[in-house]
Amino acid sequence: MLDLLRGFSQGWTAKILIAFLIGSFALWGVSSSILLGATNVVQVGSTSVTTQEYRAVYDSQLNALSQQAGRRLTRQEADIFGLRNNVLSLVTTGAVLDENAKNLGLGISKEELARAIANDPGLRDFSGKVDPEAIKRTLRNRGITQEEFENDRKRQAIRNQLQAGITGSLDMPKVFEEAIALFRNETRVFDFVAIGSEVLQAKPVPTGDNTKEFYEANKENYMAPEYRKLTLLNLQASDIVKPMEITDDEIRAAYEAQKNGLRTQEIRRVEQLVLKDKAEADSVKQKLANGASFEDVVKELGKTIKDIDLGVVTNGELPDTKVSEAAFNAELNKPTDIIDGVFGPVIVRVSEINAETTTAYNDVKDQLRNELALQRAGDEVFNTFDAVEDERAAGSNLTDTAKALNLKTRTVTKIDAQGRDENGNAITDIPVLQQLLRVAFETQPGDDTRELPVGDDGFLWYEVEEITPTRQKELSEVESDVRDAWVTQETKAKVLEIANGVAERIRKGDDMNVVLAETLPVDSIDSAVKYETSIPLTRNAQEAKIGNAAISEGFDAKNGDIKVAETTGGDVIVLRVAEVQEPDDKTIPADAIEQLNTAAADDVLNQVIQDMQSRLDVTISPDGIEAAFNTYGGGHGM
């Protein structure tokens, strides 16, 4: 397989292979031989999903859910959102596809698989060739064998074959596109006024009882988070790189090996004058020989230089071989003799020449030195990795291990599940922070822990030293925040009450400006407040004065209706639908049509998969799901 990879890493074919193969590890990239036994979570015919595969997908989805929530979610919180069942559905779908692919006899040749793997930039060296050492590092980093790596890529490729055969090219009907266009392109005009805290004669002031009552009612907002004290040992190639150990001979050898990649081909701007027949060609040739300029001849034939400009090309890029050869043998700005081209007789002129260049050795010497040093350091990282693991296997903690190997550890005194210190400041200088937080907050002091990969050539070890549990903050600690929150709540309530009163009077038939003048204080120039009228807006319009919530309310109303909506800035909008305009344009952009077609294809695929599943013997193991978590324990969070 490595020989095939080396071959396919060269040439343009490797650049057009299917990109989805690159990411197969996201779902299936964990060895079935590590940590867990053969317990399965799902069995579909002869296809199984192991506990470890299920856990790998669960962890990936937990990370995504935490990013959406803006904080690190616990397993318990994630499972409230149904994460376990969602992951179970996801891996079951994969197994159903795999089993049906087997039954249909789908496959992929070794050559195609090699092309796909060779297209992975993470498996190439600095010269662009497939690097066997990079492959070894990837396999070691993910804890899998080469056979497992190839099987993962093969399985994902076959799945996509099956999915492509199901969905093909599905297009939504025209009538549906028109309905969407009516929905998207309809416009409305609104009369509106923004009412803010300035309408209040006095700002609400909380009493001691108000503050205490608000605190008691909202205690969950005033909790000190759980903190963990961590010891970290970070090992990366960039930390141990030694460029000065690279000799000039090594740099020169690397330069010669990738010299072709440092060469810029000669390019020429080519102008091609195509002539009707030999008679016209001979006439043009004679005029040029008599001293007429090329521009004048082109103009005489009713053309411009722009019309005949083929652009800047490299040798061999033009489809007509004779024209290409003539162009790259021509002198600058000197028209060629008549060429018997594919489209008839032509005369070519080269108006610009940029000669071939090769980046000089001295210009890339330092860059090559650093690249070679980093590559060598990457190898040293794995030697050091073995030494660290040997020390830990002998019972040493990270601090003692670091001392024995002349490495440095770092102590993080307090960090919460969102990566903040005890003062609420984000800690940003820890590699793979989100992965670390995930596993560290599932680990107890004294638990054995696994290293975390950092890129393709680094590792981060961690130990949990102490846990400071979450606690309820006393009112005395947060009294200022509580008072501010109470004032904000009461101010909003009073403003909303006034806005609802304004809206109710208008609904009863009172003139909108009269109501505003009688209800609201004068504006900044002592004039009565009056409503504004918007320009025609679509339902997705961004209008800062009105806000998205009010526009959404306005599009849910009938012409003439009055609506009240809060803005993100704290104001309240009183809005009247003044005009509803159906669109003349009943089309939608091409990218929107593409999204609709994609959604339709997804729906069809889901229905077919459900039908496939109904025809197969699918077994779910609750014990297997529990084993996916219990076997990891506190310290093995993947």
Query: 570-628: per-residue pLDDT in tens?
Result: 899 999 999 999 888 778 888 888 888 888 888 888 888 888 888 888 899 888 888 88
Tell me how far apart the alpha carbons of residues 34 and 24 are, in angstroms, rounded to a whole number: 18
Q: At what angle do helices 83-104 and 146-167 cross, to 10 degrees?
A: 80
The residue written with tokens 């990969």 in the block is 453
The residue written with tokens 């038939």 in the block is 509
pTM > 0.85: no
In this prediction, residue 12 has a pLDDT band, given cuts at 50, 70 and 90, of very low
Alpha helix locations (H) across 143-268?
Answer: 146-167, 174-185, 208-217, 237-240, 248-257
Sheet of 309-314, strand order: 309-314, 267-274, 344-354, 339-341
Residues belonging to the chain = 638
Q: Which residues pair with 264 in a beta bridge?
A: 357
Would strands 40-44 and 618-620 be described as parallel, antiparallel, or unpaired?
antiparallel
337: pLDDT strictly greater than 50: yes
> Across residues 518-525, what is the average pLDDT?
80
Tell me how far apart the alpha carbons of residues 463 and 388 are, in angstroms, rounded to a whole number: 14
The residue written with tokens 């330092």 in the block is 366
The mean of the pLDDT values for the chain is: 82
Lowest mean pLDDT among 30-34, 255-259, 275-279: 30-34
Nearby residues of 444 by Cβ (< 8 Å), 6 or more positions away = 464, 467, 634, 635
Instruction: Please give the single-letter amino acid code of residue 349.
Output: R
pLDDT of 366-395, one tens digit each?
Answer: 777 767 666 666 667 777 888 899 999 999
91: pLDDT strictly greater than 80: yes
Lowest mean pLDDT among 26-30, 88-92, 293-297: 26-30
Least Cα distance to 549 among 522, 525, 573, 583 occurs for 573
SS (HEC) of 312-337: EEECCCCCCHHHHHHHCCCCECCCCC
Sign of CA dihedral 278, 279, 282, 287: negative
296: pLDDT strictly greater than 50: yes
Tokens of 280: 């016209």
Nearby residues of 269 by Cβ (< 8 Å), 6 or more positions away = 309, 310, 311, 312, 313, 350, 351, 352, 353
Tell me the CB-side half-sphere exposure of residue 304, using CA atoms within 13 A: 2
